Structure 1
Amino acid sequence: MLQCGVAIAAMLTVAPSMALASADSAMLPRNLSPWGMFTHADVVVQTVMIGLALASLATWTVWLAKTVELRQATAQARERMAALEGGASLAELARDCGEASDAVARLVQAAAHEASLPGASWDSDFKERIALRLERVEAAMARRVGQGTGILATVGAVAPFVGLFGTVWGIMNAFIGISQAHTTNLAVVAPGIAEALLATALGLVAAIPAVVIYNHLARVITGYRALLGDASAQLLLLLSRSKGRPAVAFGRAG
């Protein structure tokens, strides 16, 4: 009888532990891969992760689009600069540009348009009027090539905080699960915390490339604006060499 009582006591001691281990195993996700953690995460955390994934996709889309655009714009500007430095007259440059919409062509068209206005002459104010028009064209072209980069700045600044929100929410749910399970077993705690930290990781994955790409594009755009400044200066030099000659009538260029 004594041995039977000892055996029953041992079974009663082991049974709760086995039941708790079984409950802990039931609370574990099927796998702890990134996809498995995503599928088992809270709906709020899933929403945060999807938003960060879309932000990362937008970052790389902007990088590809702006890289292609800036390369084409820079190549066109250098080609036009070669024509400006070739000694052609403003009339010849305006005819060559025609209805082109690239930046240097717009600069040439703006200068030709000012020269085509009634009463235009190479007086002391003509160069100032041309310079004002060129400044406006430069600013417009700089705004055009800079469109879309604001998305990168926004993603770089906001994504880490969005990921942190997802982490805080996930950890809060993990602690609620711990309280309901009445256990601090690491096997129960770890999956929820891992899912929460995945949101922070995605926030950094979205933010770091956005900041790097934004800084890179900012440098490229600055170089492009400097190239436009050189084109404007070359046009002003061309006009200075023409000072004292009669104004030539140009067709309206823009």
Structure 2
Amino acid sequence: MNLFPFLTAATAPTRLNPLDLFLEADIVVQAVMAGLILASIWVWMIIISFGLRLSGVKKRCANFETEFWKADDFDALLKDRVKLNIPSARVAAAGMGEWRRSLKVNGGKSDREGIRQRLASAMESQVAQEADTLADRLNFLATVGSVAPFVGLFGTVWGIMNSFFQIGAQENSSLAVVAPGISEALFATAIGLFAAIPAVIAYNRFSHGVNSLEARIQRFADRFHASLSRELERS
């Protein structure tokens, strides 16, 4: 008989404690949890840094394009801007470089259609390179978003297997025996989802942002290509 029931009620846990679940888990489950926690921290670092980077690149591209179409000397503007992290400036520099190389061949008058094609190819290639460079770190978000739930599930399966082992070892199938192990195991899945959900959301959002920026740079390249084509017709 429990003579002091109020003491039992006072010491009984009233809510889940994530730290206790981690510390009391099997070593394999702990390793899974630790890996998922590190992945989650890295995901949030990428989310914050990439968000700031993408916003800055968009702003610099917008400012450069505004200055570019108002400039009287494209070469002078590009000389000052191409060293900065401005994708539009590098695309324009690629176009100007191909323009100069093409004009050295018979004064640029022998194959105007060929020059147009080379200009378009040079700038399109640079646009694709800029998009690939910008989206490079998004691969980690995609990997975590797709793999983390399965890693957490592995930890859960291992924890449940360990709980069944305890049932056999203690020859006791009561809920008090298996509940702690199952709770620790399910916590691994929860951490996996905690890492995966922000990664998937951020990946989709940033992929849309990169695609939008790529489309904007491509429109700038098309407009510049048209400007160079008109200049070619006058030559």
TM (norm. structure 1) is: 0.79
CA deviation string 1:172-221 (max 9, x = no partner): 11111122222222222211110111011111111111111110011100
Deviation at 1:91, TM superposition (A): 3.7
The C-alpha deviation readout for 1:6-40, integer Å capped at 9, x for no partner, is xxxxxxxx9xxx9xxxxxxxxx99x9511111111
| Structure 1 partner of 2:18 | 34
Name 2:158's counterpart in structure 1: 169
Determine helix, strand or coil for the equivalent of 1:141: helix
Deviations 1:65-106 (A, max 9, x none): 211111111111111221233364544543453544421111
Q: Does 1:196 align with 2:171?
A: no
2:51 to 62, 67, 79: 67
Partners of 2:88 and 2:174 lie apart in 1 by 68
- TM-score computed with the length of structure 2 as normaliser: 0.85
- Name the residue aligned to 2:148: 159
Q: Distance in 2 between matches of 1:98 and 1:149?
A: 25
User: 1:121 aligns to what?
Assistant: 108
Q: Deviation digits for residues 116-174 of structure 1, max 9, x if unmatched?
A: 22235262322211111001100110111001111111111111111111011001111
State the number of aligned residues: 220
1:189 alignment partner AA = V
CA distance in 2, matches of 1:141, 1:155: 24
Identity %: 37
| Deviation at residue 233 of structure 1 after TM alignment | 1.2
Residue 55 (structure 1) aligns with: 39
Q: Does 1:85 align with 2:69?
A: yes
Tell me the SS of whatever aligns to 1:242. Answer: helix
Contact 2:57 2:85 (8 Å CA) reproduced: no
- The structure with the larger Rg is 1
Higher deviation after alignment, 206-215 or 174-183: 174-183
Partner residue in 2 for 1:213:
202
Which of 1 and 2 has higher RCO (CA within 8 Å, sep 6+)? 1
Q: Structure 2: which amino acid aligns with 1:199?
A: A
Q: Secondary structure at the match of 1:51?
A: helix
2:212 counterpart of 1:227: no
Q: Contact conserved, 2:153 with 2:189, CA < 8 A, in 1?
A: yes
Tell me the alpha carbon deviations over residues 213-233 of structure 1, each in whole angstroms, 9 at most, x when there is no partner: 110011100111011111101
What's the offset of the Cα at 1:238? 1.5
Distance of aligned partners of 1:98 and 1:195 in 2 relative to their CA distance in 1, 3 Å threshold: closer
- Structure with the largest fraction of helix: 2
Question: Is the contact made by 2:82 and 2:90 (CA closer than 8 Å) also made in structure 1?
Answer: no
Name the SS for the 1:56 alignment partner.
Answer: helix
Query: Structure 1 residues 76 and 134 mapped into 2: Cα distance closer, same or farther (>3 Å)?
Result: same
Q: Return closer, same or farther for 1:164/1:92 CA change in 2, 3 Å cut-off.
A: same
1:66 partner letter: F
